[in-house]
Amino acid sequence: MIVNDLTLPFFCKCSSFNSSYFATWNRIFKCMIFYENELFILSISNSIISLEFKSKTVINLSAAQNIVATRLQLQAKKVYPLFLDMRGVTDSDKAGRDYLAQYGFMLTKAVVIVVNPGVSSVITSFYLKRYTAEVPVKVFTEKLKAMEFLNTFI
């Protein structure tokens, strides 16, 4: 495990991790777990897992597989509500979208997807209607409303 920054007693930032180490760390210290790479920022805090895409992110099959694998490893087999901020995504291919639709909601209680208003919102809603999830999934354009909905699943 490589720890890049340990700035607060209950905050851990890393570029790679061992999920059992973080599960123990989180249980003992009730800390926020934080992971960042070139595509996204992933954190667990207040019983919610949050995944925020960085600006100009393109999601292809390889990126989608990395996103899901990293999130599942960080979760260490624990189920969480998922806050997904896709406003940084500028493009995606069909294989990446299909992979996320099929595997992206594993180990979640509920999912909110925050998108930009307009075309992104319409496309995301259309795609979700095509792929039915086993958990509640809602699309929002406002973070606050999305969190209000997600907090009902904690």
Contacts of 149 (CB under 8 A, 6+ apart): 110, 112, 138, 140
Mean pLDDT of the chain: 83
CATH 2.40.50.140 fits 36-151, yes or no: no
pLDDT class for 146, splitting at 50, 70, 90?
very high
pLDDT at res. 126: 78
Confidence check: pLDDT of 2 > 50: no
The secondary structure of the chain in percent helix, strand, coil, rounded to multiples of 5, reads: 35, 35, 30
Instruction: Give the whole-angstrom CA distance, residue 86 versus residue 57.
Output: 9
Which of 61, 63, 116, 44 lies closest to 85, judged by CA?
116
Q: How many CB atoms lie within 10 A of CB 106?
A: 14
Q: Using one digit for the tens of pLDDT, what is the confidence trace for 46-71?
A: 899 999 999 999 999 999 999 999 99
DSSP 54: P
Which of 110, 135, 137 shows the shortest CA–CA distance to 124?
137
Separation of alpha carbons 98 and 145, rounded Å: 27
Q: Tens of pLDDT along 64-100?
A: 999 999 999 999 999 999 999 999 999 999 999 999 9
Structure tokens at 100: 């996320």
Number of Cβ within 10 Å of residue 74's Cβ equals: 23
The yes-or-no verdict on residue 17 having pLDDT over 60 is: no
Domain boundaries, the chain: 36-151
- The answer to whether residues 112 and 146 touch, using CB atoms and an 8 Å cutoff, is yes
Tell me what pLDDT residue 20 has: 54
